[in-house]
Chain A
Amino acid sequence: MRFGVITFPGSNCDHDSYHVCAHVLGESCRFIWHAEAAVGDIDCLFLPGGFSYGDYLRCGAIARFAPVMADVRRFADRGGLVIGVCNGFQILCESGLLPGTLIRNQGIRFLGRWVRLRVESTSTPFTSRYMRNQVLRIPIAHGEGNYFTDPQTLASLERNNQVAFRYCDEGGALTEAGNPNGALNCIAGITNVDGNVLGMMPHPERAAESILGSTDGLPLFESIRDTVLARQSRPAKIGVS
């Protein structure tokens, strides 16, 4: 399958993301510069972490206007798989591909550390290799990761099973201590209504090899590959609307 990793000025997880797609998973992957007009012929788009455009205005707010983003939107609207991690999640929220926004961490500080995540939904293209309520160990690295939205949107996210991951403690319980940034309902990652766009603050690409201390992020990449291969064996399901 073919991954595409978008590089914005200030992206700093693009090479890590590329490394996992190309070298750990062994799939085809290419970098897509933010100024390109089209994402090209790919199966899954990766919006990596970093500080696109210096986080000016708001995190992800300028990246939303990058030339490539119009085609990212078209790709997502056609059902293409899009994953945004950390700054990529912030960009997806700012561009309206995902609801809500990420505000300053409750404790104000930038947090770079391991957290525990609970898998809430295994019916997404990104989480099929996990078990429901499985507890993952994956790192975070952000100053603005505190998920926020209005009560109506929050209720609809919960009702539609759009919450993919929640912060939790080691036992999988949703506690204040397990929620590093104050996110509403301990939300660490959400999908859009159709399930083909995922945003998450924790970094699965930093937890895909045992030498890095955890391989809990790898099944996310494998789930994406499973989804793409399944779609390719049923070509009528993709790209036709």
Chain B
Amino acid sequence: MTANPTKALSTSVAIVRIRLKDGVLDPQGVTIHKALRTLGFDKALGVRSGKYYEIELAEDSPETRDQVRKMCENALVNQVIENYTIEWLGGVPAKT
């Protein structure tokens, strides 16, 4: 495949981090915390588990960012129990 320098400069990545809202039970986090304590890590006061997605994007533009927010609200995040943050990484070379 021929490298496309224009495309290579224009791609970007959205990092979506999803965490459970405060007050939502996190049995997985509780179990991991117990396991860490069992292993002797007595400095660990608590663990909350979450999710992490890297979304490769065609470009960074207001329209793209709007789409990523909609992806979060319509699919990636269940807003009954979760909230999220998006971090934008620009200037990532495109895969060829």
Contacts and interface: CB of A to CB of B under 8 A. Distances in A.
Nearest to B30: A108
Using C-beta atoms within 8 Å of the partner chain, give the interface range for chain A.
Answer: 10 to 19
B24 interface: yes
Contacts of B31: 108
Of the listed residues B24, B76, B78, the one surrounded by the most CB atoms of chain A closer than 10 A to its CB is B78
Using C-beta atoms within 8 Å of the partner chain, give the interface range for chain B.
Answer: 10 to 19
A34 B59 CA distance: 33
Contacts of B45: none
Given A108-B31, A148-B81, A103 B76 contact: no
Looking at chain A's contact residues, is the secondary structure mostly helix, strand, loop, or mixed?
loop
Contacts of B27: 103-108, 146, 182
Given A106-B25, A148-B24, A182-B25, A58 B78 contact: yes
Contact of A57 (B24, B25, B76): B76
Contacts of B81: 101, 103, 148
A104 B75 contact: no
Contacts of A148: 24-25, 80-81
Interface in A93-118: 94, 100-101, 103-108
Interface in B18-72: 24-28, 30-31
Contact of A146 (B25, B75, B76): B25
A42 interface: no
A149 B28 contact: no
A108 B25 contact: no
A108 B31 CA distance: 8
Contacts of B28: 104, 108
Nearest to A100: B80
Interface string A29-70: 000000000000000000000000000011001000100000
Interface of A: 57-58, 61, 65, 94, 100-101, 103-108, 146, 148-150, 182
Given A108-B31, A148-B80, A182-B25, 8 more contacts: A101-B81, A105-B27, A107-B27, A108-B27, A148-B24, A148-B25, A148-B81, A182-B27
